[in-house]
A and B are shown apart, each in its own frame.
Chain A
């Protein structure tokens, strides 16, 4: 089975990251923005794994685990906030949250 060059993985990761970042900046639905953040995180994970295999260093994969754990914690907190906001103001956008400004 032929080896797939690491560059392909990196290009894919860069594309995923860009899509995520773009989505985060242009969309206003908090849930979609949230998914975009996840996309960016996983793009980074992909980079880690790609480098880990290419450089034969397990450290990259260890980092992925950290990212996954942090992302899981972030989802718990983030979704809870979104649900709480939606209950008060159904259909609120991210821009509406600016009323929370101190």
Chain B
């Protein structure tokens, strides 16, 4: 059944093509139902491939299917082929699963939108690109998907492009990602130079013999690419702005799937990271750690519900990079999956709230919503407990693994990461308390403004609630796939083993210490929740105690970058433009004008007189004869 792997991306591609041709005709809700069915088909194929892979021997779980030769060019040859191994199929399962749920949710959320079918067209194209990214058997095919998801992200962020802010947010995402793509491309060239191939199978089997310097360079360049896509400092800027897109997009692309592709990429090339100098993974860990803390501190002070979740995503991705940097890849993938469950749930829940509140996103106008939106509130609370790290919800297990990996690597990193985890619990509790509890502030006056119409919140339709319930179940029980108590319960770790080539860091921590660490983490999470309750439920302390204006402004980093790009950076770009216009264009145009001028000169030789041509021929013939005679005689 592993041979069916090509079906997984084929379904969304078919959906995309059909919607491209007949999307308007299918209309609402036909286009949405069709797109959802395509994703469902893709998910079922992924399950079939998963079952086929489980049937195989552990050593045999590395199946490659080559469809055709894509770029044959001398020594350089790239195939279009798929690689089905535990890592790729794990990714595929949660991508297609969550995508199906979010497609279903979107049918309700996008109800009445003028471009209903276009939205699903983009969603299908996104799913196709993401699956190519994950299933491609070489770096170039991954890059194709990488760019594809970037394009779809751009299209979907600026989906309501008539609003200028949305259009420029899309542009920002695109441009910021290009910086990372540059790293990816150089890494790809370097990989070809080193291995003579960019096929994963050949690269990874060739990795153990490679030079440390090259491995370090490839690792860092790929990390640059990963930092762009997975929104790490300093390239995280685009993700908070990406919230301008429709909420299901935020859930699917900017929380659950696309932003995890950086983690996937680094995990995929783990044998290369293993060969790199020791400081390369350390850089990954510290950048991730800094991002986790930095973004969490910003999330604490945000007023917009989606902005809180956006910075929370940046922060959680930082956690995953800490795991990758510490060499605990299983923890990274584990947290990626549980995060996909609960973050998709939280975003969809937020979407349900926004939908019910008539597009109001400011949390200061929420409050007491659990009374009118019981299902949304209940599922959201499960997501909140999961991300806060309260046992036995899924986030606790995966975050605990990462904390353990960080402790194993560096005690200081563990302390800082614990602080980030406490902050996570705090800002998520703040969000929940402000949104669902306390007094209703639906028509509150904020900054001198009141809502134009009276707001009557209402619960969302069933197509939106069903995905919430399913995701809540997954977010609650997702931890069961990798429980730390005995080795046989670490199912994910055993399953991923063939993809990690023994590069998973061994944890040298006594069992008692592990229990201690877990208890400290739980106490930390609960104190974060308690702190939020103290301020936002009991009002024992003013909110201004923690919500500093500088934190709300993201420490001024975004503004600083914008100012630089508009000011001194702009001058540098102008200088490069001038260099391009004068030097580069000068050389190109110069080559053209030299040919043109010399042609005009030579054209004068052609007089049109037959006899002058004849003289030329005769003279040439005589000259040749003289030359040959001279050569033979002397």
Contacts from A to B (Cβ < 8 Å)? 21, 24-25, 28, 33, 94-95, 97-102
Are the C-beta atoms of A95 and B609 separated by less than 8 Å?
Answer: yes
Q: Tell me what chain B mostly uses at the interface: helix, strand, loop, or mixed.
A: helix
The chain B residue sitting closest to A22, CB to CB, is B618
Report chain B residues within 8 Å CB of A28. 611
Report chain A residues within 8 Å CB of B615. 25
Contact of A24 among B606, B608, B614 (CB under 8 A): B614
Are the C-beta atoms of B607 and A98 separated by less than 8 Å?
Answer: yes
The chain A residue sitting closest to B607, CB to CB, is A98
Report chain B residues within 8 Å CB of A97. 608, 610
Report chain A residues within 8 Å CB of B608. 97-101
Contact of A95 among B606, B611, B618 (CB under 8 A): B611
**How far is A11 from B632 in the complex, measured between Cα atoms in Å?**
22
The chain A residue sitting closest to B618, CB to CB, is A21
Apart from A25-B614, A25-B618, A94-B609, 8 more pairs, CB < 8 Å? A24-B614, A25-B615, A95-B610, A98-B607, A98-B609, A98-B610, A100-B608, A101-B608
**How far is A4 from B606 in the complex, measured between Cα atoms in Å?**
46
Query: A25-B615, A25-B618 are contacts. A94–B607 as well, Cβ < 8 Å?
Result: no
Which of A24, A99, A100 has the most B CB atoms < 10 Å from its CB? A24
Are the C-beta atoms of A25 and B611 separated by less than 8 Å?
Answer: yes
Are the C-beta atoms of B618 and A101 separated by less than 8 Å?
Answer: no
Are the C-beta atoms of B611 and A101 separated by less than 8 Å?
Answer: no
Interface bracket on B:
under 10
Q: How far is the CB of B330 from chain A (nearest CB, A)?
A: 76
Q: How far is the CB of B300 from chain A (nearest CB, A)?
A: 79
Q: What are 15 sample pairs from A and B whose C-beta atoms fall under 8 A apart?
A: A21-B618, A24-B611, A24-B614, A25-B614, A25-B618, A94-B609, A94-B610, A95-B609, A95-B610, A95-B611, A98-B607, A98-B608, A101-B607, A101-B608, A102-B606
Contacts from B to A (Cβ < 8 Å)? 606-611, 614-615, 618
Report chain A residues within 8 Å CB of B606. 101-102
Q: How far is the CB of B397 from chain A (nearest CB, A)?
A: 83
Which of B606, B607, B611, B615 has the most A CB atoms < 10 Å from its CB? B611
Report chain B residues within 8 Å CB of A21. 618
> How many A-B contacts if CB must be within 8 Å?
27
**How far is A49 from B611 in the complex, measured between Cα atoms in Å?**
30
**How far is A39 from B614 in the complex, measured between Cα atoms in Å?**
15
Are the C-beta atoms of B610 and A33 separated by less than 8 Å?
Answer: yes
Report chain B residues within 8 Å CB of A99. 608
Report chain B residues within 8 Å CB of A98. 607-610
Report chain A residues within 8 Å CB of B607. 98, 101
**How far is A95 from B611 in the complex, measured between Cα atoms in Å?**
8
The chain B residue sitting closest to A98, CB to CB, is B608
**How far is A25 from B611 in the complex, measured between Cα atoms in Å?**
6
Q: How far is the CB of A94 from chain B (nearest CB, A)?
A: 5
**How far is A10 from B562 in the complex, measured between Cα atoms in Å?**
89
**How far is A21 from B615 in the complex, measured between Cα atoms in Å?**
9
Q: How far is the CB of A52 from chain B (nearest CB, A)?
A: 22
Q: How far is the CB of B622 from chain A (nearest CB, A)?
A: 10
Q: How far is the CB of A24 from chain B (nearest CB, A)?
A: 5
Q: How far is the CB of B197 from chain A (nearest CB, A)?
A: 54
Report chain A residues within 8 Å CB of B618. 21, 25
Report chain B residues within 8 Å CB of A25. 611, 614-615, 618
The chain B residue sitting closest to A24, CB to CB, is B614
**How far is A98 from B613 in the complex, measured between Cα atoms in Å?**
11
Report chain B residues within 8 Å CB of A33. 610
Q: How far is the CB of A81 from chain B (nearest CB, A)?
A: 12
Report chain A residues within 8 Å CB of B614. 24-25
Q: How far is the CB of B608 from chain A (nearest CB, A)?
A: 3
**How far is A101 from B606 in the complex, measured between Cα atoms in Å?**
8
Q: How far is the CB of B164 from chain A (nearest CB, A)?
A: 56
List the 7 shortest-distance A-B pairs measured between CB atoms, nearest first: A101-B608, A98-B608, A94-B610, A98-B609, A24-B614, A95-B609, A25-B614
Report chain B residues within 8 Å CB of A24. 611, 614
Q: How far is the CB of A28 from chain B (nearest CB, A)?
A: 8
The chain B residue sitting closest to A28, CB to CB, is B611
Q: How far is the CB of B603 from chain A (nearest CB, A)?
A: 9
**How far is A16 from B23 in the complex, measured between Cα atoms in Å?**
84
The chain A residue sitting closest to B622, CB to CB, is A21
**How far is A95 from B607 in the complex, measured between Cα atoms in Å?**
10
Q: How far is the CB of A63 from chain B (nearest CB, A)?
A: 18
**How far is A101 from B604 in the complex, measured between Cα atoms in Å?**
11
Q: How far is the CB of B620 from chain A (nearest CB, A)?
A: 13
The chain B residue sitting closest to A37, CB to CB, is B614
**How far is A24 from B607 in the complex, measured between Cα atoms in Å?**
17
**How far is A94 from B613 in the complex, measured between Cα atoms in Å?**
12
The chain B residue sitting closest to A27, CB to CB, is B611
Report chain B residues within 8 Å CB of A101. 606-608
**How far is A33 from B615 in the complex, measured between Cα atoms in Å?**
13
**How far is A95 from B608 in the complex, measured between Cα atoms in Å?**
8
The chain A residue sitting closest to B603, CB to CB, is A102
**How far is A99 from B608 in the complex, measured between Cα atoms in Å?**
7
The chain B residue sitting closest to A95, CB to CB, is B609
Report chain A residues within 8 Å CB of B609. 94-95, 98
Q: How far is the CB of B383 from chain A (nearest CB, A)?
A: 79
Q: How far is the CB of A31 from chain B (nearest CB, A)?
A: 13
The chain A residue sitting closest to B615, CB to CB, is A25
The chain B residue sitting closest to A94, CB to CB, is B610
Q: How far is the CB of B277 from chain A (nearest CB, A)?
A: 67
Report chain A residues within 8 Å CB of B611. 24-25, 28, 94-95
**How far is A91 from B273 in the complex, measured between Cα atoms in Å?**
88
**How far is A102 from B604 in the complex, measured between Cα atoms in Å?**
11
Q: How far is the CB of B386 from chain A (nearest CB, A)?
A: 81
Q: How far is the CB of B50 from chain A (nearest CB, A)?
A: 72
Q: How far is the CB of B599 from chain A (nearest CB, A)?
A: 13
**How far is A58 from B477 in the complex, measured between Cα atoms in Å?**
98
**How far is A37 from B575 in the complex, measured between Cα atoms in Å?**
65
The chain B residue sitting closest to A30, CB to CB, is B610
Q: How far is the CB of A91 from chain B (nearest CB, A)?
A: 16
**How far is A99 from B607 in the complex, measured between Cα atoms in Å?**
9
Q: How far is the CB of B600 from chain A (nearest CB, A)?
A: 13
**How far is A24 from B611 in the complex, measured between Cα atoms in Å?**
7
Q: How far is the CB of B615 from chain A (nearest CB, A)?
A: 6
